Chains A and B, each alone.
Chain A
């Protein structure tokens, strides 16, 4: 029977081969990372298979434990989580009102906005960092501009510069953004901002205008409508988007390399160093990648349990 037959244009053999290729390309790399994380390093940049937890031990307490304890990599992990969490929450919190307003515009206006955000979404991390780097670098960009038009002088006289210094984004002479946590988080949140728009767009655009009009006939103003109708309706996508962006940002590389101070670096940097960079310790790099992945999974599960109680228990 035509219906019961599987897709006739792919033979059974071809289909199996196709499935095998997909599995090999999309799954084996992850399995390799997992397997090699238990391997051991051989002097001279090579490594061998093995099954030991040396790399994991090194991650948590340092290679020389119990003589000395090093929490260096835990600190990297902490900064990975800190930057990603901060930036993703910032992006979702600011993009939510924007997308809401956007979905209330005409179809045509929405399409224009979408093209704009899609173009900036696909923009390579490298370009984004380049743009912000020019803007935030101490010799050109905003600090130079501030100095030029007198904002720096005003900041100094009004005492705001000292406030900015306590926030870590100014030197005694002028505002200073590089290297700072501020610039790192700003750029990271910029990176995922278009993603937040794209992810929040479908649920928000599906909210029927009649619902809003109904609430307004009952006396709710625009802000009350958003607070009492829209927010509860999109709680799930909001949490989901935040978690997705968080996972995405865990792997940020270029932003950290350019904007973060070396002592506030993240796991992505040290993973690259171990696998392809200066330190060349592939098993240890794999272990770090696996820990990054597991941490991401734990946070996803915890996030779902905490914010989506009816979903998290599935």
Chain B
């Protein structure tokens, strides 16, 4: 009885600890004045209007964030599919090495990849273009759909491909009619994982972006150094709400514990 109480208390404290800064940011968005205070002074919803409607700089960076997140995640999924499928079908040394190399940008400290990308895009003269930001994020996050797709493919009974073959399906037909429909949840969650992380990514965009385009995270970092405005807290709220919605959707339509590698039998 005592033990249960202590463990509940411990978990509660952790939940508060994790949620606290997030709640603080949310509350700060309600500040009436131009300065950040907690608890908020003179609560108002004016900041939300500023972020979404009136202030050009936030609207533009929000649009850039969305474009990069969506484009980057879509490209990452498209790049991850062939690698994951190859890995599943053949599991040969070459596909393993390829998967390892594709995961490298995500596994190593992002600051090193950021530095490399500055040189890479600098060479091709596209540093500061928004599409270089999209491709950078695709390369950075290809590891995520690669992981969810591999988990999904491992869950598919290999004899399904054999069964389809004995019924006259070529590999392409079997892929289209058997693998793809079963893999939709995993494709979607890989896409959403990549999109949410791209949306929130700072360091790499910080390196490859230019004054011509900046994302919400870069914009917030700049204002963080130049003094707070409560408007940026609205940006933060937007992000948190989006993340929770997306992960709730993944949890609703996919099997989140399985995606994260929990034991399936339970």
Contact = CB atoms under 8 A, between A and B. Distances in A.
Given a CB threshold of 8 Å, the question of whether A touches B is answered with yes
Interface of A: 2-3, 5-10, 15, 18-19, 21-23, 25-33, 36, 94, 97-98, 101-103, 107, 110-111, 114-120, 122-135, 140-141, 190, 193-194, 198, 201-202, 205-206, 222, 247-248, 250-251, 253-254, 257-258, 268, 271-272, 275-276, 282, 285-286, 289-290, 292-293, 296
Contact of B116 (A33, A194, A198, A272): A33
Chain A CB within 10 A, most for which of B25, B115, B116: B115
A8 B251 contact: no
User: What are the nearest 4 A-B pairs in CB distance?
Assistant: A29-B116, A131-B21, A251-B109, A202-B261
B10 A98 contact: yes
B18 A193 contact: yes
A107 B220 contact: no
A167 to B, nearest CB: 20
Given A7-B171, A119-B240, A251 B112 contact: yes
Interface of B: 3, 7, 10-11, 14-15, 17-22, 24-25, 28, 36-38, 79, 82-83, 85-86, 89-90, 98, 101-102, 104-105, 107-113, 115-120, 123, 135, 138-139, 142, 165, 170-172, 175, 196-197, 199-203, 206-207, 217, 220-221, 224-225, 228, 232-233, 236, 239-240, 243-244, 247-248, 251, 256-257, 260-263, 266
B248 A127 contact: no
Given A22-B79, A123-B239, A268 B37 contact: no
19 contacts: A2-B171, A7-B171, A9-B172, A22-B83, A29-B113, A114-B251, A118-B247, A123-B22, A133-B228, A134-B21, A140-B36, A201-B261, A205-B263, A253-B111, A253-B202, A271-B111, A275-B115, A289-B111, A296-B109
Contact of A194 (B18, B104, B228): B18
Given A114-B256, A123-B22, A250 B109 contact: yes
B105 A29 contact: yes
Contacts of A282: 118-119
A133 B3 contact: no
A118 B14 contact: no
Contact of A7 (B20, B82, B196): B82
A301 B174 CA distance: 43
A30 B248 contact: no
A44 to B, nearest CB: 15
A296 B263 CA distance: 31
B107 to A, nearest CB: 8
A130 B224 contact: yes
B232 A130 contact: yes
Given A127-B236, A253-B202, A275 B118 contact: yes
Contact of B18 (A107, A114, A117): A117
B126 to A, nearest CB: 13
Nearest to A128: B21
Given A98-B10, A140-B37, A257-B225, A201 B260 contact: yes
Given A124-B202, A205-B262, A140 B38 contact: yes
Given A129-B224, A205-B266, A268 B248 contact: no
